[in-house]
Structure 1
Amino acid sequence: MPTRRIPAALALAAAIVLTTTACGGGSASSGSNSSPKTLTYWASNQGTSLENDKQVLEPELRKFEQQTGIKVNLEVIPWSDLLNRILAATASGQGPDVLNIGNTWSASLQATGALLPFDQATFDRIGGKDRFLPATIASAGAAGKDPAAVPLYSMAYGLYYNKKLFQAAGIANPPATWDELVADGKKLTTGSQYGLAIEGGNVSENVHHAFTLGMQHGTGFYDAAGKPQFDSPQAVAAVKQYVDFIATDRIAAPGNAEYAANQSVTDFATGKAAMLMWQAAGANLKSHGMNPDDYGVAPVPVPAGSSGPQATSSMVAGINLAVFKNTKNLDGALSFVKFMTGDDEQKLLNSTYGSLPPVKAAQADPAFATPELKTLAGVLSTGAAPLPQVASESQFETLVGTAVKNLLASAAAGKPVTEAAVKAELSKAQQQMPAN
């Protein structure tokens, strides 16, 4: 997606484990007001710009004010700054009343103790837990604990393919297995055109694909006790498979190793690449002038004959909505969460942003029955797995995503990327993890 994509946790995320004791109650939220008639809301950048988000959200916030008498002070924060701002708020105990978080950060932020737990009684106040798709709740906090947030916008990865380029290459159907994808990618790689576009300079994209391939190879990068297993044979095989798109398969351009900020989407939209693995790319492709009839969407390939976790084709992507525990307007904050996750708002906001409603009733709306979104909804329901819901997840994103970035850079430079080289890079990432 354009700017909605959940970024890798920034380097400051390493400090997250230090904030656990700094988030006690008692202080008013920074920028919020103790009056029951005001709330402060930090929204993530979901649209084409910060201004676009304000244009989308402000009419809805006025609608909420008309219904409740509560004014919402909105600040839209770019993804490049959002985690830093949240970590500073958790450390100081002063933050907004309500905030958006990348769903992959849920367990890490939950560990700080700064976010309001959504226990059964709290869920009841916003309409009930069973309104949400189970996969999206699974990405809202650590297993066995009350979620630290509720799902707001949901996404999943799909394989986008250019119909005209496939037809010209004599390929009738999108690949369903990795062997088929590599074979098709080689047929589609000719001249300045490549079979697949990837975004190797984007740490977030790297770790998302590494995780999905890891699940297919039999690892979630952590053991059952929550201990990092970044350099296991399964993890090495998964990362090498991804790096080999440039290194040995040569179906992705060497320059893709430096791509970031949606450059791979641009290549796909302009016909420089025939395939793209992306989250809800439709709105972004439209902004580049690509007609929905020109591309198809299928699940990301899986190994031939796979089933269960090894048939995972996407991480559970999306944005969660959290309440800062120190809010002085808890009733108002929960009323706002109920409003934003209500059926009507879910339909309106997700259709505007090109994402999927995590609320089951809203997802049944015809607006989400396009071929693209129907495919992604199927992936989210049956083929997606949440990233590790552990306190160190933010560091995992940064370190493993950076390891993949380094390996792709080596591949682009023509250096051999052996299993030993992959293992060494992943071992270095694991050694940088905090001991606890």
Structure 2
Amino acid sequence: MRTPRTIALLRTTGAATAAALSIGLLAACGGGGGSGGDTRTITYWASNQGADLSVDRRVLAPEIARFEQQTGIKVKWEVVPWTDLLKRILGAATSGQGPDVLNIGNTWSASLQATGALREWDDAAFARIGGRDRFLPSALGSTGAQGKPPAAVPLYSLAYGLYYNKKRFAEAGIKKPPATWAELVEAGRKLTGGGRYGLAVEGANNAENAHHAFVFALQHGGGFFDSAGRPTLDSPQAVAGVKQYVDFMATHRIAAPGNAEYVQNETIRDVATGKAAMMLWQAGGRGLQERGMKPGDYGVAPVPVQSGAPGTGANVNSMVAGINIAVFRNTRNLDGAMKFVAFMTGDAEQKALNTAYGSLPPVRSVGADPAFNTPELAVLRRTLAESAAPLPQVPNESQFEELVGTAMKKLFADAAAGRPVTEESVRRRLTEAQQQMPK
């Protein structure tokens, strides 16, 4: 999900989040929402995919105008920041008053499905947008709980890569991007000094924190959920993974203390300006270009692993990231909503939108287009195909992101303030998160 950028997807505790989800199960079955019964109008909540909201407005405006011209259906739309999106969706689920169509982070699919707020996509619904087989299986794997019809359909596919400033690498005499975390720390130390740092992280971005925690825990041989989908947020592997990530600031000091307050796209700015040399990011090239870099100014490599090369098991180096598009159950213009989803997932729009955002099309026919075979996208495509793992599609996944992300935010704050981040302090924060997870 760009995937996902957020300060706090909810400003409540995990228990309150669970309560909101539970209420949504009831509220989503009644009440009105969406276009308010006007069959010539729909409402749409888009997610922030560009370097800032103005980029999204510039990208989406002509495409939505094209849909309006083709169908005669008016779209009332807004771009919702990741800092607010999940909170607003859960509020809509609780009240029954939501948009007709909305973007969601693909990792939230099962959590939002459990509220009953989203319409599920059975075979008849898929037939209205060209069929299920148009989409890549990896993208469909993050659209809802196993054994149930999807709660959304894929819109943009993403994966993490290691982005680096080539000029900074050349200045430090670094010939190639690091392939292991030990190599990244070594390179980071060479790149840190004089007010500049080796790595930029978004320490106050809960979703980013949780995504990296998930990957690091897998690389340590474990995860945040067991095989039955039960949360294990303070497992030894989770503790080891979170500590390794926070240690980029706390121990190795290759990330600036100020990164503890970074929440949305500051890493892109720092790499583009040379203040930082590296970042772990989803489809970051377009954002770097929007900040003034040319394609030749930055490189993209697979996210490092502990040892060896990216792959499966302990060598997973990305979550399966992406954005899905969903229809609110309480829509009063289902026909218009379905036509809009068909438009947004159609071949022409998939090429236009994913080109604009530097993401990968989840539609098979479009993904084969040479436009999506750039050096950057080739790395991301290979990652999705060979070394990415989906976050568990379980009802309390969104609470995991919020609670673990918040725990890591506090650990980064400790690191920035010079307070020690130890195995015990990491375990304590994760145990607090575990205790707040729904039973």
Q: Same fold (TM over 0.5)?
A: yes
Matches within 5 A, 1:227-238: 227-238=230-241
User: Is the alpha carbon distance of 1:145 and 1:309 closer, same or farther for their aligned partners in structure 2, counting shifts above 3 Å?
Assistant: farther
Show the counterpart of 2:428: 424
Matches within 5 A, 1:40-189: 40-189=43-192
Is this contact kept in 2: 1:6–1:102, CA < 8 A? no
Is this contact kept in 1: 2:205–2:262, CA < 8 A? yes
Q: Return the offset for 1:414.
A: 2.3
1:257-284 superposed Cα distances (whole Å, 9 cap, x missing partner): 2222222222211112221111111222
Whole-angstrom CA distance in 2 between matches of 1:24 and 1:287: 39
1:335-383 superposed Cα distances (whole Å, 9 cap, x missing partner): 2211110111000011112222111211222322222122112212222
Whole-angstrom CA distance in 2 between matches of 1:21 and 1:77: 23
User: Is the alpha carbon distance of 1:399 and 1:26 closer, same or farther for their aligned partners in structure 2, counting shifts above 3 Å?
Assistant: closer
Show the counterpart of 1:9: 9
**2:253 aligned to which of 246, 250, 254:** 250
Q: Return the offset for 1:148.
A: 0.5
Is this contact kept in 2: 1:217–1:237, CA < 8 A? yes
Greater Cα offset, 166-175 or 341-350:
166-175
Greater Cα offset, 298-307 or 228-237:
298-307
**1:276 aligned to which of 276, 279, 283:** 279
Whole-angstrom CA distance in 2 between matches of 1:16 and 1:390: 16
1:381-436 superposed Cα distances (whole Å, 9 cap, x missing partner): 2222222211111111111011111112222222222211111111011111223x
Is this contact kept in 2: 1:6–1:318, CA < 8 A? no
In the alignment, is residue 378 of structure 1 matched against residue 372 of structure 2?
Answer: no
Whole-angstrom CA distance in 2 between matches of 1:24 and 1:41: 17
User: Is the alpha carbon distance of 1:162 and 1:144 closer, same or farther for their aligned partners in structure 2, counting shifts above 3 Å?
Assistant: same
Whole-angstrom CA distance in 1 between matches of 2:409 and 2:87: 22
Is this contact kept in 2: 1:239–1:404, CA < 8 A? yes
Whole-angstrom CA distance in 1 between matches of 2:412 and 2:296: 32
Whole-angstrom CA distance in 2 between matches of 1:419 and 1:192: 29
In the alignment, is residue 309 of structure 1 matched against residue 313 of structure 2?
Answer: yes
Q: Return the offset for 1:296.
A: 0.4
Show the counterpart of 1:192: 195
Q: Return the offset for 1:186.
A: 1.9
Whole-angstrom CA distance in 2 between matches of 1:298 and 1:118: 36
Structure 1: runs of 5 or more not aligned = none
In the alignment, is residue 226 of structure 1 matched against residue 234 of structure 2?
Answer: no
Is this contact kept in 1: 2:3–2:282, CA < 8 A? no
Whole-angstrom CA distance in 1 between matches of 2:421 and 2:76: 50
Is this contact kept in 2: 1:140–1:320, CA < 8 A? yes
Aligned-partner residue type, residue 367 of structure 1: A
Structure 2: runs of 5 or more not aligned = none
Is this contact kept in 2: 1:316–1:386, CA < 8 A? yes
Whole-angstrom CA distance in 2 between matches of 1:266 and 1:292: 15
- TM-score normalized with structure 1 length: 0.93
- TM-score normalized with structure 2 length: 0.92
The alignment partner of 1:111 has SS state of: helix
Aligned-partner residue type, residue 257 of structure 1: A
Greater Cα offset, 154-163 or 67-76:
67-76
Q: Return the offset for 1:294.
A: 1.4
- What is the aligned-residue identity percentage? 64
Show the counterpart of 2:397: 393
Is this contact kept in 1: 2:118–2:327, CA < 8 A? yes
Whole-angstrom CA distance in 2 between matches of 1:178 and 1:38: 51
Matched pairs, number: 433
Show the counterpart of 1:322: 326
Is this contact kept in 1: 2:108–2:397, CA < 8 A? yes
RMSD, aligned CA: 2.1
User: Is the alpha carbon distance of 1:276 and 1:113 closer, same or farther for their aligned partners in structure 2, counting shifts above 3 Å?
Assistant: same
Aligned-partner residue type, residue 210 of structure 1: A
Q: Return the offset for 1:127.
A: 1.1
Show the counterpart of 1:361: 365
1:37-60 superposed Cα distances (whole Å, 9 cap, x missing partner): 332222223335545434432332
Show the counterpart of 1:332: 336
